[in-house]
């Protein structure tokens, strides 16, 4: 698996390159699943993972929404659509 960034020199590796243009590293010299996985910045011990810190970095803190995160406007839109559909259904049910 070719990484997007060379695990040896940190240079950019084009998608179809067979070796790093900066240092010449290739599959035989260190492009492995482990080297590609190391670029993700995941903790080696799953117990070290701080879910709340990750959630803040991905979604930001803020006002409103569940868990203190902001609700995406599109999500709010679909809630309004669901409520409108429910109201129309109820109006049709009681009119019968």
What is the tens place of the pLDDT at every residue in 18-66?
888 877 777 777 665 555 555 566 666 777 778 888 788 888 765 444 5
Q: Please, which residues have CB within 8 angstroms of residue 10's CB and are 6 or more apart in sequence?
A: none
Q: Please, which residues have CB within 8 angstroms of residue 62's CB and are 6 or more apart in sequence?
A: 68, 69, 70
Cβ 11 vs Cβ 20: under 8 Å: yes
Q: What are phi and psi of 5, to 5 degrees?
A: -125, 135
CA distance 54 to 58: 6
Residues 24-29: contacts with CB under 8 Å, at least 24 apart: 27/2
pTM of the model: 0.31
Determine which helix (DSSP H) or strand (DSSP E) holds 81, and give its type and residue range: helix 73-95
Residue 12 has pLDDT above 90, yes or no: no
Residues in the chain: 96
> 70 vs 90, which has greater pLDDT?
90
């Amino acid at each position: 698996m070719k990484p997007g960034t060379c695990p040896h020199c940190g240079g950019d590796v084009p998608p179809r390159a067979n070796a790093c243009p900066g240092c010449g590293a290739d599959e035989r010299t260190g492009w492995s699943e482990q080297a590609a996985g190391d670029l993700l910045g995941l903790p080696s011990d799953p117990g070290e993972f701080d879910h709340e810190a990750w959630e803040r970095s991905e979604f930001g803190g803020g006002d409103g929404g569940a868990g203190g995160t902001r609700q995406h406007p599109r999500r709010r839109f679909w809630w309004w659509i669901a409520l409108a559909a429910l109201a129309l259904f109820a109006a049709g049910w009681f009119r019968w």
